[in-house]
């Protein structure tokens, strides 16, 4: 009887310690997630790459359009057989 009581008390203390560890880990997770969200911001990324000598382009990007002849006129790709 006394042995099972001590065993139960030991388990209660283990559960309390594990619950405390879960709280600490959850708090650490929230802190790290907040830091990651801050690091993903465009302004933060721009500041980090400026230190390395990279700056945003002053000229806007140009769109390149590729026209495929195969999709526009499939009959033009057919080679006629010679009559030799």
What pLDDT tens digit does each residue of the chain (84 aa) get?
777 888 999 999 999 999 999 999 999 999 999 999 999 999 999 999 999 899 888 898 888 888 876 655 555 555 656 565
**DSSP one-letter code for 82:** P
**What is the C-alpha to C-alpha distance for residues 14 and 7, in angstroms, rounded to an integer?**
11
Give this prediction's pTM.
0.53
State the sign of the Cα–Cα–Cα–Cα dihedral 32, 38, 42, 48: negative
Q: Please name the residue that has the structure tokens 């388990």.
A: 11
The answer to whether 68 and 61 have CB atoms below 8 angstroms apart is no
């Amino acid at each position: 009887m006394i042995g099972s009581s001590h065993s139960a008390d030991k388990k209660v203390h283990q559960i309390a310690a594990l619950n405390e560890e879960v709280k600490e880990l959850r708090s650490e997770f929230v802190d790290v997630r907040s830091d990651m969200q801050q690091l993903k911001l465009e302004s933060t990324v721009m500041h980090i790459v400026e230190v390395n000598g990279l700056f945003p382009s002053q000229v806007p990007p140009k769109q390149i359009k590729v026209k495929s002849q195969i999709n526009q006129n499939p009959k033009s790709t057919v080679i006629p057989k010679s009559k030799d």
